[in-house]
Structure 1
Amino acid sequence: MRGFVIVWLGQVVSMLGTGMTNFALSFWIFQQTGEATALTWAIFFFMAPSVLFSPIAGAIVDRSNRKTIMIVSDLLAGIATIFLLSLLATDSLQIWHIYVANLLAGAANAFQFPAYSAAVTMMLPKEQYGRAAGMLSLAGSASGILAPAFAGALLGPLGLVGIMGIDVATFLFAIFALFIVHIPQPEVTAEGRTGQGSLLQESAYGFRYIFEKPSLLGLQMVFFFINFLAMFGFAVMVPMILARTGNDEIALASVQSLGAIGGVVGGLLLSTWGGPKRKVNGVLLGMIATSIFGQALMGVGQGVFIWATAAFMGQFIIPILNGSNQAIWQAKVAPDVQGRVFAVRRLIAQITAPVATALAGPLADNVFEPAMQPDGALAPLFGWLVGTGAGAGMSVMFVITGLIGVAVGLGGYLFPAIRNAEELLVDHEVVVQTAVLKKRLNELTAERQVLRQAPSTVQNQQALRAIALEMRQIGADFPQQSRGDFK
């Protein structure tokens, strides 16, 4: 646990710096353009490579030293920040530069997710997976509390240059934390040997693995839809709040900080509790709850109090939702193929998020916002609920996607492959134990056959009794999840 805590602390510090930069850049972009589209496209250029590069990144992670991949990916993300910092310092920064930097940072993130997820599996026992997910969520949420507050306070005296300089220092700290920690490499399993081949073949292995297991595919299809809905709403949260408050950065920082506090509370709860016994309930009920109390409530709000409440509730639930899902995958997928499988898992779950992000800004500016002006087409239908004027169209986007999100979460319970995923899928530890026991059973069967064909002696009869005793013990030790395969 000590090594994991050191890596975790490095990520806490690094996420704080990144969060400060993201807050300051978001404010700078909206000041420059006054449009939601520019902000959502900045998000798109980060998310698209982080999702699309995932299969190749996962294959490389499984082929390589995971600690090295983690360090290099952190370094690339830092280079993206240095690129923007140098342009800003020379008064040359333009919005398209931010898009380019986000492409690089997103590509680095494609490697970070499978590398970190697979590393946690090797550093901790299964019983700690839920708590580890809670701590990682807590790291992101803690930075979410402090980053807007620090960035809002320091933006005036230090400017964007100073804030980005702090970001550079924090990613160096995270790299140092990785350097001093030992991260074990996984042993090759039967699943790992099956997936070996060229880089292209190994990149495709994650697809085959998931598509052969209906429960894993079903879980990811639920995330496929919920992530589209979530990003379609939350991609316009910043411009919605700024539009409805007259560019009040304090109001925006307050909402984001309260949301992050909710994430901290949810992460702390998961870290100590470990999540529900049936993790699939944490996933599906979590989706329903965050759609109601996070997404829809955010749209209904017309002031800081309701927005902050919605942000708190949404971020409070998300660690339990994501942590429950992560625990299922870490328990069911063999460690030496987790890089490939987790990368494809991410691709399936999040491929819709960049699409939603790319669509949200233009639809907000050109469809929903004009329709929610006092004389707009949607004002009679939704005006009583969210008001009219600047930002009201984006509020409608939140309400609609929140209600559909509830239907997606409830729909997951209709499919046995999803609601019974934990019973239908065998733990990877059980698979390994089963293989060992079956190998020993085959050896004993062969020895018994030889002894039965040999002349009957006292020594042979004793050996046969010993074999029978060991075979009965194997039957008793055989993993419960695999007893249907025991022959």
Structure 2
Amino acid sequence: MPLPSSLWNRSFVLWLLGSAQSRLGSALSGIALSFLVLSQTGSARATALTLACALAPTLLMPLMGAWVDRMPLKVPLIGAALVQGLLQVMVGGVAVAWGEVPLWVVNGAALLSGLANAFAQPASSAAVPALVPPDQLARANGVVISVSQGAWLLGTLAGSGLVAAVSPAVAIALDRVSFLVMAGLLTQVTLPQTMGRGAAGPGLLADLWAGLRLMRRSRTLSFTPVIGLLLNATLAPLLVIVPKRMVSLGAGAQGYGAFLALEAAGMVVAGVLFTVLGRRLPTRRATAAGLLLTAVTYGAMWSWPVLPVVLAGSAVLGFGFGILNTPLNTLLQHLVPAAYLGRVFSVLGMGSSIGMPLSLLLVSPWLDRLPPAVWFGAAACLQGLGTVAWILVVQSERRLPDLRGAEGMA
């Protein structure tokens, strides 16, 4: 399939619209689900278990990435959107009908939704390079993060308002629409029929091993899953501590919505920065700057655990995450041959996502016992270590290898 000649082509615009409304619905239901579990149990530990269920299927993501490289990208993307929409219908419907959803239903739906997401995530990352010209990839990633995070911001504001004014159940039920609209829009997007036909081996395990061999040819590429694991293991306890912290500060669901909205706003600003500057921003240095900025911000939230500092810190964190993740995705999309994108992004996705359930399972016994400030301090220390490690790896590989000759590797 020939690449588009301009950034603002029909398929890319439809992709943006689908991603934006899906992010809006996900933000809305994310707040609702957190407060549904918290209102039923009053426990951060129960919230952590639900989040762990949603993230556990990422263990299978590398095999799914190998599968994605063998099939039309629309199959995992549309299929995942439909499955997640139906699951939201089920949980929201039970909540509205019964008034309370058994935790096994919530956790079972979270597990299935996580499985669908693990299938779609590598396909989504592999799709962007097929939608825009190569020289517009950095700008495209900036546009995607700006639009999707802007929608996330609107969703968090709407979600916190719905939870406070009506109920978490209504917010969850409304989210089904976003996934169904996403599936409809994706049917109109032009994507490659098969990403990795030339790189396909005798089986999925052989394909996965070929992708791992490719990653080993670059120290930077090999280290990105480690960085992803560390970042998300650091962030995971905060995702379940912040809602409870907002309740203790008297801000409640609206305070939590403001926290997430400010974080999304920071990411929007980072996306705009990359949209404007494009390839003029050095990708690996920008990633290092994002790591350092988030470590310092966690430290400030640890030292001054009061509402104004926590809310201001969330905006800075969002900006740091944006200038960390956007250039990293762009770097991988330029470096990795198209036939291997599903596998490489699935390994990165597994490394990133598995850090959350592992971290939650390890620290859940202490989430309700230790002061929230302790978790921000731990995040600052771990993020600082990640910054130092990334800089050392970049310094050891000043010139990135050319991996495009690996197209025929099996």
> Offset of 1:153 from its aligned partner?
2.3
Partner of 1:239 in structure 2?
244
1:298 to 298, 301, 310: 301
The DSSP-based 3-state class of the residue aligned with 1:93 is coil
Partner of 1:313 in structure 2?
316
Distance in 2 separating the partners of 1:47 and 1:201:
25
Aligned counterparts, 1:327-476, within 5 A: 327-366=330-369, 368=370, 393-415=371-393, 418-419=394-395, 421=397, 423-426=399-402, 428=404
1:69 to 68, 71, 76: 76
> Offset of 1:316 from its aligned partner?
1.1
Check whether the contact 2:230–2:382 (CA below 8 A) recurs between aligned residues: no
Partner of 1:220 in structure 2?
225
Partner of 2:328 in structure 1?
325
The DSSP-based 3-state class of the residue aligned with 2:368 is helix
Letter in 2 for 1:289: L
Q: Given the superposition, is the C-alpha separation of residues 431 and 147 from structure 1 closer, same or farther in structure 2, using an over 3 Å criterion? A: same
> Offset of 1:163 from its aligned partner?
2.0
Check whether the contact 1:275–1:323 (CA below 8 A) recurs between aligned residues: no
2:270 to 258, 263, 266: 266
The DSSP-based 3-state class of the residue aligned with 2:206 is helix
Partner of 2:205 in structure 1?
200
The DSSP-based 3-state class of the residue aligned with 1:274 is helix
> Offset of 1:178 from its aligned partner?
0.5
Q: Given the superposition, is the C-alpha separation of residues 222 and 156 from structure 1 closer, same or farther in structure 2, using an over 3 Å criterion? A: closer
Q: Given the superposition, is the C-alpha separation of residues 275 and 212 from structure 1 closer, same or farther in structure 2, using an over 3 Å criterion? A: closer
Q: Given the superposition, is the C-alpha separation of residues 205 and 238 from structure 1 closer, same or farther in structure 2, using an over 3 Å criterion? A: farther
The DSSP-based 3-state class of the residue aligned with 1:145 is helix
TM-score w.r.t. the length of structure 2 is 0.90
Check whether the contact 2:232–2:356 (CA below 8 A) recurs between aligned residues: yes
Letter in 2 for 1:402: A
The DSSP-based 3-state class of the residue aligned with 2:392 is coil
Check whether the contact 1:40–1:361 (CA below 8 A) recurs between aligned residues: yes
Check whether the contact 2:164–2:254 (CA below 8 A) recurs between aligned residues: no
Letter in 2 for 1:409: T
> Offset of 1:296 from its aligned partner?
2.3
Distance in 2 separating the partners of 1:301 and 1:167:
35
Letter in 2 for 1:220: P
Distance in 1 separating the partners of 2:285 and 2:209:
30
Distance in 1 separating the partners of 2:165 and 2:253:
15
> Offset of 1:212 from its aligned partner?
4.0
TM-score w.r.t. the length of structure 1 is 0.76
> Offset of 1:123 from its aligned partner?
1.4
> Offset of 1:29 from its aligned partner?
1.5
State yes or no: 1:85 paired with 2:92.
Answer: yes
> Offset of 1:301 from its aligned partner?
3.6
State yes or no: 1:146 paired with 2:131.
Answer: no
Bigger RCO (CA 8 Å, 6+ sep): 2
Aligned counterparts, 1:266-285, within 5 A: 266-274=270-278, 277-285=281-289
Measured against aligned partners, the alpha-carbon deviations of 1:10-56 in whole angstroms (never above 9, x if no partner) come to 1111111121111112112112222211111111111111x212012
Check whether the contact 1:292–1:403 (CA below 8 A) recurs between aligned residues: no
The DSSP-based 3-state class of the residue aligned with 2:399 is helix
State yes or no: 1:96 paired with 2:104.
Answer: yes
> Offset of 1:127 from its aligned partner?
2.0
Letter in 1 for 2:206: Q
What runs of 5+ residues in structure 2 fail to find an aligned partner?
1-7
Distance in 2 separating the partners of 1:62 and 1:362:
40
Q: Given the superposition, is the C-alpha separation of residues 422 and 45 from structure 1 closer, same or farther in structure 2, using an over 3 Å criterion? A: farther
For this pair of structures, how many residues does the alignment match? Answer: 399
Q: Given the superposition, is the C-alpha separation of residues 206 and 75 from structure 1 closer, same or farther in structure 2, using an over 3 Å criterion? A: same
Partner of 1:25 in structure 2?
33
The DSSP-based 3-state class of the residue aligned with 1:184 is coil
> Offset of 1:101 from its aligned partner?
0.7
Q: Given the superposition, is the C-alpha separation of residues 214 and 69 from structure 1 closer, same or farther in structure 2, using an over 3 Å criterion? A: same
Measured against aligned partners, the alpha-carbon deviations of 1:312-352 in whole angstroms (never above 9, x if no partner) come to 00001211211111111111111112112211122234332
Partner of 1:42 in structure 2?
50
Distance in 1 separating the partners of 2:217 and 2:111:
32
Check whether the contact 2:290–2:322 (CA below 8 A) recurs between aligned residues: no
Distance in 1 separating the partners of 2:240 and 2:144:
23
> Offset of 1:427 from its aligned partner?
5.6
Q: Given the superposition, is the C-alpha separation of residues 159 and 238 from structure 1 closer, same or farther in structure 2, using an over 3 Å criterion? A: closer
What runs of 5+ residues in structure 1 fail to find an aligned partner?
369-392, 436-487
Aligned counterparts, 1:104-253, within 5 A: 104-155=112-163, 158-185=166-193, 192-193=198-199, 195-242=200-247, 244-246=248-250, 248-253=252-257
Partner of 1:444 in structure 2?
none
> Offset of 1:413 from its aligned partner?
1.9
Partner of 2:4 in structure 1?
none
Distance in 2 separating the partners of 1:350 and 1:222:
11
Check whether the contact 2:24–2:156 (CA below 8 A) recurs between aligned residues: no
